[in-house]
Amino acid sequence: SQTIHQWPATLVQPVGSPLSLECTVEGTSNPNLYWYRQAAGRGLQLLFYSVGIGQISSEVPQNLSASRPQDRQFILSSKKLLLSDSGFYLCAWSAQRRAKWDTFGSGTRLTVV
Amino acid sequence: DAKTTQPPSMDCAEGRAANLPCNHSTISGNEYVYWYRQIHSQGPQYIIHGLKNNETNEMASLIITEDRKSSTLILPHATLRDTAVYYCIVSSSGSARQLTFGSGTQLTVLP
């Protein structure tokens, strides 16, 4: 069966520090991968999605970047965190062909101080 | 993708049916209606989806109006564990499907 792993679960980082959040999927190949952010009390905002290795589409201009170095690995990064980067970050995947629905990871709570 | 309108909050008594409405008046012919829920501090969980026929699974039922401009998610016997934010989303099929989450409906199941 397919599983999605996202870590760390919580993270407190100072302003100006770098960020790296990792997401991996097991049990499937060539998945679509997504990064979402959820600010407190608000809906989910799609940040990046990827249909293949090295293929990244950005939905919102921001201080973040994403990379997909391997088929089932998706990384969210920042060189210098801002206070406004605080939020709940979620990774998700869906099958490339005949995608039925997305499966989400458990999320990373990022607090920038 | 079309947008959806949901009430911000609803209460439901434990053991009773919870009926969550969603309006999607600009839905296109190839767009599905998806429902997800998010329990506090967890990732969203897929519940059910449909195109134009009513659907039922082990979690819920989805009723879509004939004109497809609105739908209702039904939790037949709500429990305290069903307290969550419920998102109604419309999305077309495709290899790079994206979901646009709005604010959803906060369902609170009361003992």
For the stretch B20-33, pLDDT in tens is 999 999 998 888 89
Yes or no, beta carbons of A99 and B45 under 8 Å apart: no
The pLDDT mean for chain A works out to 90
Residue A94, burial from CB neighbour count under 10 angstroms (0-12, 13-18, 19+):
buried
Report pLDDT digits (tens) over A11-40.
999 999 999 999 999 998 899 999 999 877
Round to whole Å and give the CA distance between B46 and B57.
12
Count of A-B CB contacts under 8 Å: 58
Report pLDDT digits (tens) over A98-109.
666 778 999 999
Q: Please say if the pLDDT value at position B94 is more than 60.
A: no
* For residues B26-47, average pLDDT: 89
Best mutation site among B37, B95, B105, B106 for testing chain A: the one with the most A CBs within 10 Å?
Answer: B95
Q: Are A78 and A87 in contact (CB under 8 A)?
A: no
Yes or no, beta carbons of B101 and A36 under 8 Å apart: yes
Yes or no, beta carbons of B44 and A32 under 8 Å apart: no
Does A9 lie at the interface with B, CB-CB under 8 angstroms? no
Q: Which residues of B touch A49 (CB under 8 A)?
A: 96, 98
Compare CB distances from B98 to A42, A49, A109 and report the shortest one's residue.
A49
